[in-house]
Chain A
Amino acid sequence: MSKKSGFMKALKCRECGREYPLEATHVCEFDFGPLEVAYDYDKIKKSLTKDALAKRPQTMWRFRELLPVAEEPTVGTGVGYTPLVKADRLAKWLGVREAWVKNDAVNYPTLSFKDRVVSVALSRARELGFDTVACASTGNLANSVAANAASAGLDSFVFIPADLEEGKILNSLIYGARVVGIRGHYDEVNRLCAEIAGKYGWAFVNVNMRPYYAEGSKSMAFEIAEQLNWKLPQHTVAPMASGSLLTKIHKGYQELIKLGLAKDTKPVVHGAQATGCSPISAAYKDGKDFFKPVKPDTIAKSLAIGTPADGFYALKVMKETGGASDDVSDDEIRDAMKALAECEGIFTETAGGVTVGTAKKLVASGKIPAEDSVVLCVTGNGLKTLDAVQGHVGKPDEIKPSLREFEELIEPDLKVKTK
């Protein structure tokens, strides 16, 4: 086990500030508050400069000083630096002056933003001497843990709700992971995993490795800022399941400000949920700073967390930055998936539909002013949730290999076009 700590100082309770050694532990023994990595920012400032960045490869690890590993990463070294797409046609659909899509639907290797958190968690797990990794997952995390563990030669266990989309289940099995389907929703999978993690000596990426794991999400914010030439976006819309991604995007922006890499232009962060699982959005609308747990019922299964661990902090970030939250129905999710596909050629999964659909609502309600610019965090790939759009996107026309049949098929459309 490595004794080095790199740019990290300690684990620190977000509630009471008590400090803990940099081990595989995630809650404060005193008040159960989540532990977070504390960094030596003075040391980071000397190392993470724009000159240094210019020489580094285009992966999330170019921001290595702000990611919690003691030495050079060993798992998922090619993850990140996904495209930031200027989405002019989508901006029109949204009703906003300028829109960008941070496209983690094409993240490497498993087509979701989870590769970011997993490469951090597994690199750190190796440093701490683990040979078996595990996770509780709504699907994407399972895929990423399975794939990255395979490439690193680690054993993996993934725990998922048994009723997940077929694509997401196959996408874990193919890598040789031990996949355990739990007959229950994600919150029940989570509860079981908390108990399993206490019993077996594995690196559970979102349980005992959570302080390291969660930090990986910041890389999305770092990349967005750099891709916008170090100008922080006016508005960012992120999907919320546990609320972790949203809080870490905010933290990422704030760290860049602290290090002098970006100016403090008061970036606003908004949170998107599916109406069928919207504890955080409901709390926001009620003006509360705490949420009431719900039992999820939505096609956005990757966001179906009824007891969001970071819900409290997500509400705090939205309040502090002037952000807002809203939620969209299953039909609105599908409409938004289609809009993103038809406007920008990007096929996202249901979670991306939640983000895009909610952004449209936030523009309509004036929470995102029409004259502003917005970055949408698209976190997963549509090929993984084909079931969600099956039967909602039409069917191909079928004809004999005959020119006459084709003409009969197409003539009515052409007449309409020439009118």
Chain B
Amino acid sequence: MAATVRIPTPLRKLTNEQETVEIESATIGTAVDELEGKFPGIKERLVDEAGEIRRFVNVYVNEEDIRFLENQDTPLKDGDDVSIIPAIAGG
């Protein structure tokens, strides 16, 4: 099984400018570790010292904020789309 992670512009230097990355992990939490294995340095961009997703990083699975799902325990299945998006100002 594979889910697709869309890499935001600020992190593409770490992914050799790859816009999307396929991952095999079963949850968001393990996906972060899988990404770190592929692209060393990316984990500390996404999570803080306590292992929590950083304050200004929003993670979505199939367009839904993981804070409305199960946070880092949110399961991933074949064909899921994961987006990592910085917070945006109002409008």
Which B77-91 residues have a C-beta within 8 angstroms of A? 83, 85-91
B89, A206: Cβ atoms under 8 Å? yes
CA distance A136 to B91 in the complex (A): 6
- How many residues of B sit at the interface, in one of the four size bands? 20 to 34
B57, A32: Cβ atoms under 8 Å? yes
Return the CB mask of B10-25 against A: 1 if under 8 Å, else 0.
1101000000000000
Which B41-91 residues have a C-beta within 8 angstroms of A? 45, 54-58, 60, 63, 65, 67-68, 83, 85-91
Most chain A CB neighbours (cut-off 10 Å) among B56, B86, B87, B90? B90
Asked if A119 is an interface residue, CB under 8 A from chain B, the answer is no
Distance to closest chain B CB from A100 (angstroms): 24
Given contacts A198-B9, A207-B88, contact A292 B67 (CB under 8 A): yes
CA distance A188 to B62 in the complex (A): 11
Distance to closest chain B CB from A197 (angstroms): 8
- Inter-chain contacts of A245 with B (CB < 8 A): 90
Distance to closest chain A CB from B46 (angstroms): 8
CA distance A336 to B13 in the complex (A): 50
Distance to closest chain B CB from A4 (angstroms): 25
- Inter-chain contacts of B83 with A (CB < 8 A): 191, 195
Distance to closest chain A CB from B1 (angstroms): 24
Asked if A387 is an interface residue, CB under 8 A from chain B, the answer is no
Asked if A28 is an interface residue, CB under 8 A from chain B, the answer is yes
Given contacts A188-B63, A191-B83, A207-B88, contact A27 B58 (CB under 8 A): no
Partner of A307, one of B6, B8, B10, B58: B58
Asked if A170 is an interface residue, CB under 8 A from chain B, the answer is no
CA distance A28 to B54 in the complex (A): 12
Interface majority SS (helix, strand, loop, mixed), chain B = mixed
B90, A308: Cβ atoms under 8 Å? yes
- Inter-chain contacts of A307 with B (CB < 8 A): 58, 65, 87
CA distance A310 to B87 in the complex (A): 8
B88, A206: Cβ atoms under 8 Å? yes
A206, B65: Cβ atoms under 8 Å? no
Number of A-B pairs whose CB atoms are under 8 Å?
98
- Inter-chain contacts of A28 with B (CB < 8 A): 10
Asked if A358 is an interface residue, CB under 8 A from chain B, the answer is no
Which A207-247 residues have a C-beta within 8 angstroms of B? 207, 210, 213-214, 241-245
Asked if A90 is an interface residue, CB under 8 A from chain B, the answer is no
Distance to closest chain A CB from B29 (angstroms): 18
Partner of B91, one of A15, A33, A141: A141
B60, A191: Cβ atoms under 8 Å? yes
Distance to closest chain A CB from B9 (angstroms): 5
Distance to closest chain B CB from A416 (angstroms): 46
B90, A309: Cβ atoms under 8 Å? yes
A31, B54: Cβ atoms under 8 Å? yes
- Inter-chain contacts of A213 with B (CB < 8 A): 89
B6, A191: Cβ atoms under 8 Å? no
Most chain A CB neighbours (cut-off 10 Å) among B10, B67, B83, B89? B89
- Inter-chain contacts of A210 with B (CB < 8 A): 88-89
A193, B88: Cβ atoms under 8 Å? yes
- Inter-chain contacts of B63 with A (CB < 8 A): 184, 188, 191
A194, B89: Cβ atoms under 8 Å? no
By beta carbon, the residue of chain B nearest A142 is B91
- Inter-chain contacts of B68 with A (CB < 8 A): 293, 295
- Inter-chain contacts of A188 with B (CB < 8 A): 63
- Inter-chain contacts of B13 with A (CB < 8 A): 29
B90, A27: Cβ atoms under 8 Å? no
- Inter-chain contacts of B90 with A (CB < 8 A): 138, 141, 206, 241-245, 305, 308-310
By beta carbon, the residue of chain A nearest B11 is A29
CA distance A195 to B57 in the complex (A): 14
Report 24 cross-chain contacts, Cβ distance below 8 Å, ordered by A residue. Answer: A15-B55, A15-B56, A27-B10, A32-B56, A33-B56, A34-B86, A136-B91, A138-B90, A141-B90, A190-B91, A193-B88, A194-B85, A206-B89, A206-B90, A213-B89, A241-B91, A242-B91, A244-B89, A244-B90, A292-B67, A307-B87, A309-B56, A309-B89, A310-B89
Which B residues have a C-beta under 8 Å from some C-beta of A? 6, 8-11, 13, 45, 54-58, 60, 63, 65, 67-68, 83, 85-91
* 17 further A-B pairs in the complex, CB-CB below 8 A; given A26-B86, A32-B56, A293-B68: A29-B13, A32-B57, A34-B86, A136-B88, A191-B58, A191-B83, A191-B85, A193-B88, A206-B90, A213-B89, A214-B89, A243-B90, A295-B68, A307-B58, A307-B87, A309-B89, A310-B90
